[in-house]
Amino acid sequence: MSTIAPTSRTTLVRRSDRGTYDRAVVNAILDEALICHVGFVLDGQPFVLPTTHARIDERLYVHGSVGSRMLRTLRQGIPVCVTVTLLDGLVLARSAFHHSMNYRSVLILGTAREVQEEAEKRRAFCALVDHVVAGRSTQTRSASPMELKATSVLCLPIEEASAKIRTGPPIDDEEDYALAHWAGVIPLALQAEPPLRDPRLPAGIETPASVARYRRPVP
Amino acid sequence: MSTIAPTSRTTLVRRSDRGTYDRAVVNAILDEALICHVGFVLDGQPFVLPTTHARIDERLYVHGSVGSRMLRTLRQGIPVCVTVTLLDGLVLARSAFHHSMNYRSVLILGTAREVQEEAEKRRAFCALVDHVVAGRSTQTRSASPMELKATSVLCLPIEEASAKIRTGPPIDDEEDYALAHWAGVIPLALQAEPPLRDPRLPAGIETPASVARYRRPVP
């Protein structure tokens, strides 16, 4: 079992029993989540923006237009925080105080570098598409040199990171178990509905199995 | 129609056609989302943490243990960014480059103040519980004075904010519409599964309708 070394910044202040530095756990959360939230600082103001991501080994990639505020800021090599959260359920306790959520989240701190080498940029580009739908990069027109140039790809090493997980039923104060309030968990899952064909798609083009039977996590 | 005044920090740099400052749109996204991501800066490092939130009129509330890193940092009155994202679908284009997501997101910038007055703190506490399940605050034991004291509640005015929304099918380059790749949207929705009763819940306690027929957004 590979473990990520905790730092003072990734050591959980509270509920350390919910934390883990197991790389396999961190990777599984990153791979299941479709989006991440990227935090960076601009003129002293934190910004948090949602975007897609992909993991290759121990590196996380994000991308965007070279003209975007996020990419223009991050390519300068400033501190960044990438957070990924999977919401698994609503935890309803007998007391308002002990209401909670079941979730799996990962926090990665570090400094992103802009990918310069074309081969790595292409690999990241494919990974970003395949992260959304497995195998999709082979079922689309790949990026042209101009499209690659218009896109900035950032790489963040998954070196300073932690995961936090809550599972299971509510934990009420012992005396509250005698109360007559309903308690339990409402499980939540991000579910795919039947795919919508592009209105301009010719009738003869069949829906690939990866799209027709889409689900997370990828089986 | 009430509109939030854009600032240089909330004016969209790219795809401004996807932005809106309509308060009703911003409020609807905040109200549907179960969690937000809170960004703040500590020793020059941005942190992004997931948490629950609730809106009362034009104010957003978040809460946490007085001992948590986030609450201890934010109660000092430093700049914060709260971002809420609803993922609505995967947009699969004929070209890798034009892959996208359908989503609705809100970004709020500002400085949070710690709620001191007990009445406001109680109102926020109830709003945070009711945000998760409508009416739930009346179906639980309310917070004791000690529990209130152990909880820090922060209030962020929804004054500097914007929403960004993408909907609809992929937009491919005109020449790519002739390609034989499948294109369209996989709609996604956060769905509730049948509630799990707490193992210690007596058989006689019936599941409330708000739990048994849970859905987002609240109808």
Residue B84's CATH number: 2.30.110.10
Judge whether A158 lies within some domain. yes
Q: If you write DSSP's letter for every residue of A85-102 in order, what string do you get? A: EEEEEEEE-SBGGG-EEE
H/E stretch holding A165: strand A160-166
Whether A42 is covered by a domain: the verdict is yes
Tokens 């599941």 appear where?
B207
Predicted model pTM: 0.96
In a domain, A100, yes or no: yes
ipTM of the prediction:
0.96
Chain A residue numbers touching B82 (CB-CB < 8 A): 48
Q: How far apart are CA A159 and CA A174, in angstroms?
A: 40
Give the tokens for residue B200.
């210690």
pLDDT in tens, A62-109: 999 888 888 889 888 899 999 999 999 999 999 999 999 999 999 999
Q: State the pLDDT confidence band at A1, using cuts at 50, 70 and 90.
A: low
A210 Cβ under 8 Å from any chain B Cβ: no
In a domain, A2, yes or no: no
Domain membership of residue B4 (yes or no) is no
Mutate to test the interface with B, among A65, A97, A137 (most CBs of B within 10 A): A97
- Contact across the interface for B92 and A190, Cβ inside 8 Å: no
- The angle subtended at Cα A87 by Cα B22 and Cα A183, nearest 5°, is 105
Instruction: Give the range of the structural domain holding residue B120, as residue numbers without chain letter.
Output: 16-171
How many domains is chain B built from? 1
Interface test with B, best of A16, A140, A167 (most B CBs within 10 A): A140
In the DSSP assignment, the letter for residue A134 is: T
- Compute the nearest-CA separation of B201 from chain A (Å): 7
Buried b (16+ CB within 10 A) or exposed e, B143-162: beeebbeebbbbbbebebbb
**Where are the alpha helices (H) located in A113-181, listed in sequence order?**
118-132, 145-150
Residue A147 covered by a domain: yes
Cα torsion B174, A50, A97, B116: sign: negative
pLDDT of residue B15: 80
Tokens of A123: 């690999």
Strands A100-111, A79-92: parallel, antiparallel or unpaired by DSSP? Answer: antiparallel
Q: Does B192 touch chain A (CB under 8 A)?
A: yes
Predicted confidence pLDDT, tens digits, chain B (219 residues): 699 999 999 988 778 888 999 999 999 999 999 999 999 999 999 999 999 999 999 999 999 988 888 888 888 889 999 999 999 999 999 999 999 999 999 999 999 999 999 999 999 999 999 999 999 999 999 999 999 999 999 999 999 999 999 999 999 999 999 999 999 999 999 999 999 999 999 999 999 999 999 999 887
Q: What is the pLDDT of residues A119-159, one digit of tens each?
A: 999 999 999 999 999 999 999 999 999 999 999 999 999 99
Q: Is residue B202 part of a domain?
A: no
A111 vs chain B: nearest CA distance in angstroms?
Answer: 10
Point out which residues pair with B79 in neighbouring strands: B111
Whether residue B77 is contained in a domain is answered as yes
Q: What does the angle CA B211 – CA B213 – CA B217 come to, to the nearest 5 degrees?
A: 95
Q: How far apart are CA A125 and CA A122, in angstroms?
A: 5
How far apart, in whole angstroms, are the C-alpha atoms of residue A44 and residue A33?
29
